[in-house]
Homo-oligomer: A and B are copies of this chain.
């Protein structure tokens, strides 16, 4: 069983690093705050006697040796946050994994297989793209070189930042073979709470399409240029944002968000020259997601033609809908039942490192409720009881996988 008090106190300790006045966390990937969080985590793992290894993309791996050689049962998540992050997203999954190994050590239990916990680099995609970058590289979806070449919005390179904070490790990503992957996470949405609480056995992750659009118009004087002469990419961006929003009303299950809008030169009296905007499109099914993207591209092409705006597209992330492994989902349900905890099957709206790990091995996740459905918000909150419940289910399901 998990030591609930210790789990909560570890989470609290980590949430001090990058704490914001609003009660949240701002620990963007590979910043000084992330480095502090990493240093703290490595210290915790070492104090537990885990073997700690860092790979070339900065993933932190803590290993508890089992009785036999061979693939490990891996738990994990991430400790980076978005700009307006909370204290639970990602951090909880890593801490819970650490607590599982601590509980086994306390109980004097050695699993048959190796067990490990991984804190993956840049899961949020808030600073570098794509999201789930560390686990994506771990799973072989992207090369280390390509990932190192990613830059943030200021043009700072990921590889350079890894070296700056001292987390470009020696190991090759994926060095630890995976027998199964289990991740505990807050739901980050309102489903579990609105169903009266209880845990979630995650059946898979919806499809994700992140696009960056660059709109080029013609800068001109806002006081002297007749409206008909203007080529305003800011207005075009507004129309695209609204169109994407309309799509969510006509395509079942469709979500859309424009979280990045940058306008150049950004002067009151200058009709903008350039707008860079992001679109985050998601759908539980790949076909309607593709339909939404196609409709959006068509709309942009017509808008570009009509308003004299040049619009170019860049993929920031593109991951298909990902079903998890039935056997492991059932194992999560069985573990909840053993503890007498209510659990329901659900799909995840957010991407998670589990989505990448499922390329390698049987994968499942356990969700706990997010109060008010809030996440990526300083007010993100989950109760201690739910955290402990979720961690116990993780412990039980991971132990089962490690001894099967």
Option from B242, B317, B350 in Cβ contact (under 8 Å) with A235:
B242
Are B282 and A257 in touch, CB under 8 angstroms?
no
Given A242-B239, A261-B234, decide whether A222 and B255 contact each other with a Cβ distance below 8 A: yes
| A47 at interface by CB-CB < 8 Å | no
Are B223 and A373 in touch, CB under 8 angstroms?
no
Task: Tell me the chain A residues, 98-129 only, with Cβ under 8 Å from chain B.
Answer: 124-126, 129
Q: Which of chain B's residues have a CB closer than 8 A to the CB of A62?
A: none
Given A220-B376, A373-B224, decide whether A82 and B280 contact each other with a Cβ distance below 8 A: no
The residue of chain B having its C-beta at the shortest distance from the C-beta of A227 within the complex is B248
Given A229-B190, A255-B223, decide whether A268 and B278 contact each other with a Cβ distance below 8 A: yes
Given A188-B223, A255-B227, A350-B224, decide whether A269 and B238 contact each other with a Cβ distance below 8 A: no
Are A83 and B267 in touch, CB under 8 angstroms?
yes
| A264 at interface by CB-CB < 8 Å | yes
**What's the least CB distance linking A161 to chain B, in Å?**
17
- A216-249: CB near B (< 8 Å → 1, else 0) gives 0011111111110100101101110110010011
The residue of chain B having its C-beta at the shortest distance from the C-beta of A89 within the complex is B221
Q: Which of chain B's residues have a CB closer than 8 A to the CB of A142?
A: none
Option from B129, B190, B373 in Cβ contact (under 8 Å) with A268:
B129
Q: Which of chain B's residues have a CB closer than 8 A to the CB of A189?
A: 221, 224-226
| A265 at interface by CB-CB < 8 Å | yes
Are B224 and A188 in touch, CB under 8 angstroms?
yes
Are A268 and B280 in touch, CB under 8 angstroms?
yes
Q: Which of chain B's residues have a CB closer than 8 A to the CB of A188?
A: 221, 223-224
Are A224 and B269 in touch, CB under 8 angstroms?
no
Number of copies: 2
The residue of chain B having its C-beta at the shortest distance from the C-beta of A272 within the complex is B259
Are B376 and A219 in touch, CB under 8 angstroms?
yes
Q: Which of chain B's residues have a CB closer than 8 A to the CB of A82?
A: 265, 267, 269-270
Q: Which of chain B's residues have a CB closer than 8 A to the CB of A222?
A: 255, 257, 259, 280, 282, 376
Option from B208, B225, B268, B316 in Cβ contact (under 8 Å) with A126:
B268
Are B260 and A268 in touch, CB under 8 angstroms?
yes
**What's the least CB distance linking A227 to chain B, in Å?**
5
| A31 at interface by CB-CB < 8 Å | no
Task: Tell me the chain A residues, 68-85 only, with Cβ under 8 Å from chain B.
Answer: 82-84
Are B84 and A270 in touch, CB under 8 angstroms?
yes
**What's the least CB distance linking A45 to chain B, in Å?**
28
10 A-B residue pairs with Cβ-Cβ distance under 8 Å, sorted by A, are A190-B225, A220-B374, A221-B376, A222-B257, A223-B280, A234-B261, A261-B261, A261-B263, A262-B263, A269-B280
A-side interface residues toward B, CB under 8 Å? 82-84, 124-126, 129, 131, 153, 187-190, 206, 208, 210, 218-227, 229, 232, 234-235, 237-239, 241-242, 245, 248-249, 255-273, 275, 278, 280, 282, 316-317, 348-351, 370, 373-377
